[in-house]
Structure 1
Amino acid sequence: MSTAIQMTALAERVRKRLGVAEGELRTLPGGHSGLTYSIDAGGARYVVKAVPPGQRPVGRNDVLRQARVLAALAGSPVPVPGVVAVDDEEPGWFAMEFASGEAVEPVLDEPGISVMTARARMTAIAHVLRRLHATDTRAPGLDAPDPLDVAGELERWSRTMRAVPEELRPEAGELMARLADEVPDGLPPVLLHGDFRLGNVLCVGARPSAVVDWEIWSVGDPRIDLGWFLLFADHHNFPQLGRAVPGLPTEAELLDAYRDGGPALPAMDWFRALGRMKMAAIMGHNLRRHREGKHHDPDQERLPPTIAAMIRTARDILG
């Protein structure tokens, strides 16, 4: 079945569930999980996420899993798009409100907002992350998975790193060994976004309007999310990719904003180093796939300096 016919069939299902007669699906750029579309119907605009036809609804293609966490967070202090329709008939899909706002990662994206606005947004979403981590993981309908333990999280990303050719991950072996030797005790598990950063939070002005891209949410130690979030505060972590933005909050300032007067979090340096190791593993994986011809993307050739910087700074953090 051609892509056009598949889109037409999906559009018919969406219109029927929304109770409207008109509206066509348009591919929405930026979506990396399943298929992502927008549709104008009944005087409103929606985002539709669907399982690709012929593929199993697992991993990033399990869009109905995203619908569960969004529905569980509806009306909570964590801003998310409202889910308006769910259809588990194969291929499954769900529709949610089209949230207003823009998602700009200050150190990686082209300038589009002032430093003052970027600073306010980063501080504001640190508070959002704290509220997310305060969410009851027993919320009705969430069907939360078993918690990730810290050692298991390290082993999962170490496997990804070990699959990257050694020449693309200088001194990563030593870093993984250091992390494995110093695994900290875990904190009580919380709801995790998995890729929490300003690039995944829509904002209107300085106000966060919606946390998006929930394809890898899980339950685990809150410092896993925190270590990843803090990584994006410093352009020095992204040679040839990032840009200097004087005036942005430091990692320490963002951590203080997250704590909001609460007690210090133990072993945060270990989780900051883990975040850098994860980023190096992801980039090394993507670069390897490009060089093997599995996913042609010449921009991946810009990654080696950043991979090396991630590994180097992670080792420096660990002392």
Structure 2
Amino acid sequence: MGETESAGALEQGLAQALARAGMAAPEGITRLTGGATMESWRFASGDGDYVLRRAPSLSFMEDRPFGHDTEAAIIRAAHGAGVTAPEVLVELQPGDGIGSGFVMRALPGTPDPRAILAMDEPAQLLRQVARDLAKIHSLPRAALPGDVPEMDYAEAVDGLAAQFDEAGADRPIIALGLRWLRDNLPERVEPVLNHGDYRLGNLLAADSQLTGVLDWELAHFGDRHEDLAFGCMAVWRFARVDRPALGLGSLQDYVDAYQAESGAQVDAGRFRFWLVYRTVWWALGCLRMASFWRSGDDRMLERVVISRRTSEQELDLLLLLEEDAPAAEQARPVPPADDPLEPEGEASVGEIATAIAEWLGTVKDRMEGHDRFQLAVARNALGMIARNDAAATQSEDAMLAQDLLDGKATLATPGLLAMLRRAALDKLAADVPKYPMLALAQAKWTGED
């Protein structure tokens, strides 16, 4: 519960905040699942339903570009401009004793990407998603808080490089991506307000209708192509890797709908730059989750598990960049995978992890709400241990990463692309074997299903 030591403390502090807005004390406070950075709590007050969005600790907010007061103001401006954003009722204050955050009116619909992707009219929903993004990009500076930052492209890439150094600077594929970003940095364009996290998982929908745009903590002024590209990353398509635009449809349909609503033209080169940038950004963001856990700022199990999703982004990044390699290197066969050793004697670490995961599966029906979600995360974590123990994968290489950053090694280096492909496949197969892009890459690179 972050800084909150008990459910009673959360209820008391929330009641104090609600009273400032003339609202009744909260009832039925329930932690919502998901949320890689912030907590969300649903509750009733009077005859309405509401959501508290809060930081797990005040220290968690220290390196963020703005606080929850600014985020709430951005949401209010978007809501007032017709964006399908929630209504903000009241912000937390230090005297409430429950951290930093704000209360919003609950919106209908589900944020579950798989439920959204199963809806009957994804093309209709995609058009509405494009419409709301165009409205966000049209919000004038005068309607927004003065501390909303503007992205400097070069500084942003340098920031990613600094994160890479802090994380050990030993991931060759990420180094390859950083070098590409520096070599392909675009010219500045007139900035618009970017949502910063516009993708499935942060959108609500019901009956193929967009009902909410959530999680505005990364809003900033910048290139509109960044927002457009981010939702089209492979990771945010979930099971529908065949639908490049948010898993809902074709990229052309998304671009056409956005251009019709915004009056702006989408540039393919800029789109690709931001697709690569955000893939590197999320790879490093995943790595950083482990540091949050190690520091004690947030000891949620989900943090350490998300850190292992870096391998998803490494594979996706290689799929994005490999088209720049010479044809001969693209055609070079990928080395075969090593055969795993058959265990003998006493149980291995991986076998113990598997046994624990299997036992947890027998008790999952006794869990509810966030505890059930955390049990699923725990089983995923144990699966990672078991698979890594069996495969003994190793993809870290600081010397090669430095050579790629310096341009001494490139995708034209004989055999490098094939080696990186093999490493990406093996690492992801151990970390997240159900990631949909793994099967696609396996078939493309090795011809195997």
State the partner residue of 1:243. Answer: 239
CA distance in 2: counterparts of 1:73 and 1:94, whole angstroms = 16
Confirm or deny: 8 A CA contact 1:224 1:271 kept in the other structure: yes
Aligned to 1:316: 322
Which SS does the other structure have where 1:194 is aligned? coil
Residues of 1 paired with 2:197 and 2:60: CA distance? 23
1:219 partner SS: strand
Change (3 A) 1:33 1:303: closer
1:132-153 superposed Cα distances (whole Å, 9 cap, x missing partner): 11111220x5234241121122
**Percent identical residues:** 20
1:104 is matched with which residue: 98, 104, 112? 112
The answer for the alignment partner of 1:27 in structure 2 is 31
- C-alpha separation in 1, matches of 2:293 and 2:94: 35
Query: Could you tell me how far apart the structure 1 residues matched to 2:236 and 2:17 are?
Result: 42
Match of 1:43 among 35, 42, 47: 47
Q: C-alpha displacement at 1:181, in angstroms?
A: 1.8
Query: Is the contact between residue 74 and residue 80 of structure 1 (CA under 8 Å) also seen in structure 2?
Result: yes
Aligned to 1:7: 10
Deviation at 1:205, TM superposition (A): 1.7
Q: Distance in 2 between matches of 1:211 and 1:2?
A: 30
Change (3 A) 1:61 1:147: closer
* CA distance, structure 1, for counterparts of residue 123 and residue 266 of structure 2: 22
Contact 2:40 2:53 in 1 (8 A): yes
Structure 1 unaligned regions, length at least 5: 236-241
Q: Is the CA contact (8 Å cut-off) linking 2:124 and 2:208 kept in structure 1?
A: yes
In 1: Cα distance, 2:161 partner to 2:215 partner: 24
Structure 1 residue 156, shift from structure 2 partner: 2.0
User: Cα offset for 1:43?
Assistant: 0.5
- Residue 54 to residue 134, structure 1, CA distance change in 2 (3 Å): closer
Counterpart check, 1:63 vs 2:65: no
Moved more, 68-77 or 243-252: 243-252
Aligned residue identity for 1:36: S
| Deviation readout 1:9-55 (Å, 9 max, x if unpaired) | 31330342243444333333334555432221120111123455764
Of 256, 270, 276, which residue of structure 2 is paired with 1:273? 276
Q: How far is the alpha carbon of 1:175 from its aligned partner?
A: 2.2
Give the superposition deviation at 1:66.
Answer: 1.8
Residue aligning to 1:238: none
**In the TM superposition, what are the counterparts of 1:207-286 in structure 2 within 5 Å?**
207-232=209-234, 242-244=238-240, 246=242, 248-260=248-260, 262-265=264-267, 267-286=270-289
How big is the shift at 1:222? 1.4
Aligned to 1:80: 85
Q: 2 CA distance for matches of 1:132 and 1:18?
A: 27
What aligned pairs does 1:144-159 form with structure 2 within 5 A after superposition?
A: 144-159=147-162
CA shift for structure 1 position 94? 2.4
Structure 1 residue 197 corresponds to structure 2 residue 202:
no
1:311 is matched by which residue type in structure 2? L
Determine which structure has greater relative contact order: mean sequence separation of CA pairs < 8 Å that are 6+ residues apart, divided by chain length.
1
For 1:51 and 1:280, the matched residues in 2 are separated by 22
Aligned residue number for residue 135 of structure 1: 139
Question: Letter of the aligned partner of 1:175 in structure 2?
Answer: G
Code of the residue aligned with 2:40 in structure 1: it is T
Shift of 1:75: 2.4
Counterpart CA distance in 2 for 1:113 and 1:184 is 33
Structure 1: how far apart are the matches of 2:122 and 2:301? 33
1:194 Cα offset (Å): 1.0
Which digits, 9 at most, give the CA deviation of each residue in 1:42-93, with x for residues without a partner?
Answer: 2011112345576475429932222111111122131111112234344454
Residue identity matched to 2:319: T
Displacement of 1:258: 2.1
State the Cα distance separating 1:183 from its structure 2 match.
0.7
Q: Distance in 2 between matches of 1:60 and 1:311?
A: 27
CA contact (8 A) 1:234 1:250 kept: no
Instruction: Identify if the C-alpha distance between structure 1 residues 244 and 145 changes in structure 2 by more than 3 Å, giving closer, same or farther.
Output: closer
- Letter aligned with residue 226 of structure 1: L
Mapped to 2, the partners of 1:35 and 1:61 lie a distance apart of: 17
Specify the code of the residue in structure 1 equivalent to 2:104.
M
- Comparing 4-13 with 203-212, greater Cα deviation is found at 4-13
| Counterpart residue type for residue 227 of structure 2 | D
State whether residues 144 and 219 of structure 1, in contact with CA within 8 Å, keep that contact through their aligned partners in structure 2. Answer: no
Task: Tell me the C-alpha RMSD between the 2 structures.
Answer: 3.3
255 and 199 in structure 1: CA distance in 2 versus 1, 3 angstrom threshold: same
SS in 2 for 1:198: coil
AA aligned to 1:308 is: E
How many corresponding residue pairs? 307
Residues 51 and 92 of structure 1 are in contact (CA less than 8 Å); yes or no, is this contact kept in structure 2? yes
Whether the aligned pair in 1 keeps the contact of 2:19 and 2:25 (CA below 8 Å) is no
Give SS of 1:49's match: strand
Deviations 1:79-111 (A, max 9, x none): 111112234344454221101111233xxx4x5
